[in-house]
C-alpha cells in the first residue's frame, strides 16, 4: 500500500495534539477561534477514523514504527480491526460531545477546549499503541485531561467527586507501574507482541512472578473498567461531571476493557504455554459481580445522571463476563455490544442534562459558573437557547426528548428492535450452542446476567422517565437548542444504523475477535523486519 496510508495510523494522535497545542497558544479568550479549531479537529478525526475503519478491515495488521526502528528497539503503533473500531467510537463520541458543549458548556470554565483535545489524543493513543509503557503514558495523558474535564464547571459536588476520582486513578497508575516493571524484569521487553512471543519460554520458576505482575497490571485496568469491587468511584464521578465531559468519560471506562481484551488475549492465548487462559475465571466472576452490583445501583439511583453512571457499570460487567468466557464468537458479540453501549450511554449522558434542565437543577449551577467565567464574546452572542430553540414550552421539545429517552432506554436495556437486543443475542447465541454441543453451566449464569439487568434498567428508566416527562409541573420552560439536540440524534441514529446494518457490523466485530483470539498475524506484523527503502 502507498506510504501515505501508512502514516494515517499516527494521524488520530497527531491531529488532536496539534489542535490542543494551537488552542493553548491561542489563549482561552478567543472562543470563536477555539470552537472553530475544535470542530475542525473533531470532524477531521471523524473522517480519519472512518478511513482507518475501512483500511483495517483486512487480514493483515498495519504497523507504524516510530522512527522506523525495529519493534524490539523502537515503539510501534498497531492498527487492527479492534483498535480502528475503538478509535472510531472515540471520534464519534468526541464529535458529538464537542458539538453539544458548544451550546453553553464550553464557557463554564477555563481551558475546556485544549483539555478536550488532549483527552481525545490520550484515548486514540491508548487504542493504537503496541507497547506496554506507551500504554501507560497515553493512559496518563488521557487521565490528566479527564481530571480537568471531570472538574469542568467547578462546584462542590464536582470537586468532591473529582478528588476521589483523582486519588483512585493515581493509585491505579501506581499499580500499573508495578505491573509493568515486574513484567519487564522477568520478560525483558515491553512490546506487547514481543512479550506474547516470549510467554512460552518463561522459566517455570519465574512464571508465578510474571503472572503476579500481569495480575497487578490487570487490577489497574479493571479499576478503570470499574469492575466490582474496584468501581465504587464511578457513578458518583460520572454523575457529578458536566454532560459533555460525562459523555467522553463514559468511553474512558471502555479503555480499561480494551486493555484487558488486548493484553489478556495476547498473553494468555494458545501460544502462552502454561499460562493459557490464566485469569479467565476471575474475569467472568468479576464481570458477573459487577453486573449484579450495577443492576442494584440502577434500581437504587434517585436521579438520571446516577442511573446513567450505573448503566456504565452494567455494561462493563457484561463485557468482562463475556470476554472471560474465552470464545471468539462470544467476544465478537461482546465487541458489537461495546459499540452499541458506548453510543447509547454517551447519548444518555447528553440527554440527561437536557431533561434535567427543564427541572432547573443543573441550570442554576451553570448560571453561577458562567457568571464567574463568562467574559468577552459571550455578551455579543446572546443566549444561544433563545436564538434557535426548537420550541420553547411547546410539547415538541418534550416529545423529541421523550422519544430519544425511550430509544436510549430500549438500547441500554437491550430490548428489541434496537441494537442492544441484537448485541445480547449475539453474545448468548454462541454461548448456548458451542459447536452444536450442550451449553456449559456457566452459559446459563451469563444468560441470567444479560437478561436480569435489562429488567432492572427498564424498571428504573420507566420510573425516571415518568418522573421527568409526565410528572414535571406544567409551565417549566424547557429550552433545547438545535446544536444540543443534534449530537444526541447523531448518536442514536448511529445506533439505529448498527441495528439496520447488524450483519456487516457483527461480521466486523467477529473478525476482530477472531484475530484477537489467534494473534499470529499480529505477532508476525509487529516482529517482522521493517521493509527497506521507506
Indicate whether 22 belongs to the interface with another protein (CB under 8 A): no
Out of 6, 10, 55, 164, the residue judged to bind another protein by CB under 8 A: 164
Q: Of the listed pieces 101-109, 141-149, 418-426, 437-445, which binds another protein according to CB under 8 A?
A: 141-149
- Scored b (16 or more CB within 10 A) or e, 106-124 reads bbbbebbbbbbbbbbbbbb
Binding of residue 162 to another protein (CB under 8 A): yes
Task: Check binding of 378 to another protein (CB under 8 A).
Answer: no
166 binds another protein (CB under 8 A): yes
CA-CA distance, 48 to 255, in Å (whole number)?
20
Minimum gap (Å) between residue 162 Cβ and another protein? 6
**Per-residue 3-state assignment (H helix, E strand, C coil) for 40-109:** HHHHHHHHHHHHHHHHHCCCCCEEEEHHHCCCCCCCEEEECHHHHHHHHHHHHHHHHHHHHHHHCHHHCC
Q: Is 159 in the site for another protein (CB under 8 A)?
A: yes
180 makes contact with another protein (CB under 8 A): yes
Residue 67 is a binding residue for another protein (CB under 8 A) = no
Residue keyed to cell 472553530: 36
Q: Does 368 participate in binding another protein (rule CB under 8 A)?
A: no
Q: Which is nearer to another protein, 98 or 165 (CB)?
A: 165
**Residue 54 binding another protein, by CB under 8 A:** no
C-alpha cell at 271: 501460544
The smaller minimum CB distance to another protein, of residues 140 and 514, is found at: 140
SS3 call for 160: helix
151 binds another protein (CB under 8 A): yes
**Minimum CB separation from another protein for residue 154, in Å?**
8
Q: How far is the CB of 385 from another protein (least distance, A)?
A: 28
- Count Cβ atoms within 10 A of the Cβ of residue 360 and give its class: 0-12 exposed, 13-18 middle, 19 or more buried: exposed
Output 91 or 146, the one with its CB closest to another protein: 146
Site for another protein in 107-136 (CB under 8 A): 133, 136
CA-CA distance, 158 to 245, in Å (whole number)?
11
**# residues near another protein by CB under 8 A:** 30
Site membership for another protein, residue 21 (CB under 8 A): no
Quickly list DSSP for 320-373.
HHHHHT--HHHHHHHHHHHHHHHHHHHHHHHHHHHHHHTTTSHHHHHHHHHHHH
Of the two residues 127 and 139, which places its CB atom closer to another protein in the complex? 139
Contact code string over 183-212 relative to another protein, x by CB under 8 A:
-xx----x----------------------
Angle at alpha carbon of residue 438, lines to 432 and 442, rounded to 5°: 55
Q: Which of 44, 177, 219, 289 binds another protein (CB under 8 A)?
A: 177
104 contact partners, CB below 8 Å, separation of at least 6 = 366, 370, 384, 385
Cell numbers standing for residue 274: 502454561
User: At CA 85, angle to CA 82 and CA 87, rounded to 5?
Assistant: 110
Binding region for another protein (CB under 8 A)? 133, 136-137, 140, 143-144, 147, 151, 154-156, 159-160, 162-164, 166-167, 170-171, 173-174, 177-178, 180-182, 184-185, 190
Amino acid at each position: 500500500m502507498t506510504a501515505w496510508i501508512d502514516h494515517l495510523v499516527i494521524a488520530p494522535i497527531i491531529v488532536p495534539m496539534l489542535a490542543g497545542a494551537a488552542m493553548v497558544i491561542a489563549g482561552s479568550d478567543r472562543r470563536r477561534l477555539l470552537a472553530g479549531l475544535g470542530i475542525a479537529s473533531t470532524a477531521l478525526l471523524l473522517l480519519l477514523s472512518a478511513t482507518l475503519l475501512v483500511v483495517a478491515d483486512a487480514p493483515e495488521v498495519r504497523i507504524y514504527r516510530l522512527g522506523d526502528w525495529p519493534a524490539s528497539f523502537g515503539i510501534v503503533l498497531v492498527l487492527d480491526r479492534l483498535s480502528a473500531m475503538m478509535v472510531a467510537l472515540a471520534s464519534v463520541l468526541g464529535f458529538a460531545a464537542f458539538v453539544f458543549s458548544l451550546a453553553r458548556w464550553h464557557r463554564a470554565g477555563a481551558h475546556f477546549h485544549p483539555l478536550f483535545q488532549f483527552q481525545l489524543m490520550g484515548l486514540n493513543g491508548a487504542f493504537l499503541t503496541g507497547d506496554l509503557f506507551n500504554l501507560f503514558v497515553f493512559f496518563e495523558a488521557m487521565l490528566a485531561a479527564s481530571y480537568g474535564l471531570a472538574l469542568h464547571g467547578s462546584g462542590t459536588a464536582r470537586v468532591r467527586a473529582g478528588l476521589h476520582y483523582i486519588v483512585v486513578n493515581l493509585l491505579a497508575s501506581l499499580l500499573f507501574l508495578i505491573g509493568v516493571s515486574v513484567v519487564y524484569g522477568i520478560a525483558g521487553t515491553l512490546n506487547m507482541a514481543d512479550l506474547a512471543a516470549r510467554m512460552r519460554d518463561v522459566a517455570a520458576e519465574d512464571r508465578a512472578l510474571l503472572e503476579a505482575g500481569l495480575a497487578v497490571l490487570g487490577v489497574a485496568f479493571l479499576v478503570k473498567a470499574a469492575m466490582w469491587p474496584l468501581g465504587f468511584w464511578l457513578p458518583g464521578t460520572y454523575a457529578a461531571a458536566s454532560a459533555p465531559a460525562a459523555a467522553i468519560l463514559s468511553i474512558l471506562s471502555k479503555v480499561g476493557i480494551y486493555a484487558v481484551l488486548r493484553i489478556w488475549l495476547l498473553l494468555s492465548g494458545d501460544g502462552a504455554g502454561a499460562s493459557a487462559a490464566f485469569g479467565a475465571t476471575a474475569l467472568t466472576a468479576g464481570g458477573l459481580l459487577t453486573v449484579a452490583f450495577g443492576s442494584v445501583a440502577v434500581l437504587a439511583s434517585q436521579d438520571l445522571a446516577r442511573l446513567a453512571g450505573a448503566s456504565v457499570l452494567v455494561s462493563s460487567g457484561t463485557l468482562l463476563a463475556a470476554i472471560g468466557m474465552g470464545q471468539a464468537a462470544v467476544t465478537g458479540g461482546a465487541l458489537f455490544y461495546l459499540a452499541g453501549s458506548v453510543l447509547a450511554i454517551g447519548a444518555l449522558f447528553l440527554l440527561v442534562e437536557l431533561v434535567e434542565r427543564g427541572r432547573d437543577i443543573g441550570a442554576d449551577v451553570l448560571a453561577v459558573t458562567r457568571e464567574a467565567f463568562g467574559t468577552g464574546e459571550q455578551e455579543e452572542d446572546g443566549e444561544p437557547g433563545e436564538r434557535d430553540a426548537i420550541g420553547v414550552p411547546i410539547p415538541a421539545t418534550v416529545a423529541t426528548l421523550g422519544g430519544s429517552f425511550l430509544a436510549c432506554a430500549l438500547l441500554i436495556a437491550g430490548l428489541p428492535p434496537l441494537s442492544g437486543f441484537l448485541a445480547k443475542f449475539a453474545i448468548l447465541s454462541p454461548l448456548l450452542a458451542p459447536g452444536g454441543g450442550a451449553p456449559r453451566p456457566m452459559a446459563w449464569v451469563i444468560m441470567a446476567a444479560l437478561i436480569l439487568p435489562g429488567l432492572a434498567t427498564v424498571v428504573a428508566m420507566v420510573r425516571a422517565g415518568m418522573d421527568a416527562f409526565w410528572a414535571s409541573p406544567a409551565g417549566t420552560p424547557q429550552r433545547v437548542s438545535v446544536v444540543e439536540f443534534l449530537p444526541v440524534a447523531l448518536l442514536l441514529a448511529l445506533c439505529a444504523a448498527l441495528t439496520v446494518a447488524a450483519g456487516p457490523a457483527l461480521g466486523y466485530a467477529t473478525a476482530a475477535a477472531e484475530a484477537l483470539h489467534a494473534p499470529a498475524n499480529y505477532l508476525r506484523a509487529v516482529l517482522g523486519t521493517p521493509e527497506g527503502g521507506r
